[in-house]
Chain A
Amino acid sequence: MRDLFVALRKDLLLQWRGRAQVVAIFAFGAAALLLFSFAIGPDSLALRQHAAGFLWLGLLLASTLSLAESFEREMEEQALEGLLLLPASARALYYGKAIANWGQLALLGSALVPIMVVLYDAGTLRLLSLLGVIVLGTAGLSAPGTLYAAMTSQIRGRQTLLPLLLFPLVVPVLLAAVKATSLLILGDPMGQVRPWATLLAAFAVVHWSMGGLLFDRVVED
């Protein structure tokens, strides 16, 4: 447990020192949201209807940058090999990084919400529920994302491979998060947000446990 906190502290510190990069990734996400509206045209009704989908697509695209970035730093000067030589379990390193990535993605998602509200006129008063959906959804993105980024950061063609591996896997996250967010924005007369949030939570539980089980295989030797 202590290993985990030390690893988490290291990753949060890394993120804090590389905050310029985080701002750049946020700008990328915001630009994506701006571009999506050009794909639909200036139809405010349609934009509002698709706002949730655009938000999550923007976040998903931005997440591949931030996940890849989190391991690229470990590749410099063989930092990862150094870490693995420490008397700490690979599992602690994984969870430290996955939690740090989760925090960063949740922050990124929350920061994109105002952009969505302004551009698509898609506001909601259930801000806490929206935050909950973002936290659960990004949990589902960060666990498999961290696992795959650990592999793809070490090989050629990594820019293509991480999204190629991650996107099909997180289809349930995208689907459930978009549905839940959409219901929050457009109204939820049947109270359907909760089952979608449960699906997000279930996905996260499955992938967080699987990632912890398999990570030491990925980085061994």
Chain B
Amino acid sequence: MPQALVAAGVVLLLTGSFWGLFRAPGEVFMGDVQRIMYVHVPTAWNAMLALTFAFVCAVTFLLTKAWKWDNRLEAAMEMGVVLSLLLCMQGAIWAKPTWGVWWDWDPRLTTTAVMVFAFGGILALRNAVDDPVKRAVWSSVACIVAFADVPIVYFSVKWWNSLHQAQSTPATVSKAFHWPLRINAFGVLFLWAGLVALRARVAALRLGSELAPPLPQPAGTEKAPVHGGTL
């Protein structure tokens, strides 16, 4: 199933990108440079989505104490960091010919960079904790704190400085650009959803070996070994 999602994501991304690069008309002012929008905007949506999913995993883990949510948290957080990093890089590539600079201290750009470091730091924390229970609880707590911090960072930077153009959504771009944008958005979505499912499986296997002898068998979870189980 995850493999099918990954495959569907790749196919959609190839279709959308082909359409965006060769079929859709160039933009009037920016010309071909604008075509990076077909990956940039879907990446932005999906980076947000992946980190939101990580937040949901963190909250659910703290409430249910079910290991599968910790596995998903690890996978989703890694995906969120990778997508945010990609987002910053695509933004820089687009900004150089358009704004004349690689970087600008605009709210969305700065917030994304802050997010890369905030969630990247949590991945480093996960890496440094050997006890699986502490690792799971602490990274959930840190994920919740970091996620709640994102809007404050955004608004504080917004007050501080602003230049970025308004977000591109199907409502703000010409009809001719809609389809490649939509196809790529779903392409990236399927791709990360599939990869996160696969990565969560790896996390579950590692956890299984860490907890191996003796496996905790709390009441009500007879088939605990890999995916299930609570603290």
Contacts and interface: CB of A to CB of B under 8 A. Distances in A.
A218 B137 contact: yes
Interface stretch (B93-101, B123-131, B198-206): B123-131
Given A161-B121, A161-B125, A165-B142, A220 B137 contact: yes
Contacts of B144: 210, 214
A202 B148 CA distance: 13
Given A148-B142, A210-B145, A220-B137, A168 B152 contact: no
B8 to A, nearest CB: 34
B201 to A, nearest CB: 26
Contacts, number: 83
Contact of A171 (B122, B133, B141, B156): B156
Contacts of A203: 152, 156
Interface string A149-193: 001101111001100110111011001100100000000000000
B157 A175 contact: yes
Contacts of A176: 156
A20 to B, nearest CB: 29
> Secondary structure at chain B's binding surface: helix, strand, loop or mixed?
helix
A21 B41 CA distance: 50
Contacts of B128: 155-157, 161
A172 B134 contact: no
B159 A195 contact: yes
Given A148-B142, A220-B137, A168 B121 contact: yes
Interface in A188-221: 195, 199, 202-203, 206-207, 210, 214, 217-218, 220-221
A137 interface: no
Contact of B141 (A147, A179, A199, A202): A147
B117 interface: yes
Interface in B40-87: 62
B148 A206 contact: yes
A144 B117 contact: no
A217 B137 contact: yes
Contacts of A147: 141, 145
Contact of A218 (B117, B141, B149): B141
B216 to A, nearest CB: 12
Contacts of A202: 152
Interface centre among B62, B114, B124, B160 (most CB of A within 10 A): B160
A164 B138 contact: no
14 contacts: A144-B145, A156-B128, A161-B124, A165-B118, A165-B125, A168-B118, A168-B146, A172-B149, A199-B152, A199-B155, A203-B156, A214-B141, A217-B137, A218-B138
Interface of A: 144, 147-148, 151-152, 154-157, 160-161, 164-165, 167-169, 171-172, 175-176, 179, 195, 199, 202-203, 206-207, 210, 214, 217-218, 220-221
Closest 7 CB pairs of A and B: A172-B156, A168-B118, A168-B117, A164-B121, A165-B121, A214-B141, A157-B128
Given A164-B124, A206-B148, 15 more contacts: A155-B129, A157-B124, A161-B121, A164-B117, A165-B121, A168-B114, A168-B115, A171-B157, A172-B149, A172-B153, A195-B159, A199-B155, A207-B149, A210-B145, A220-B137
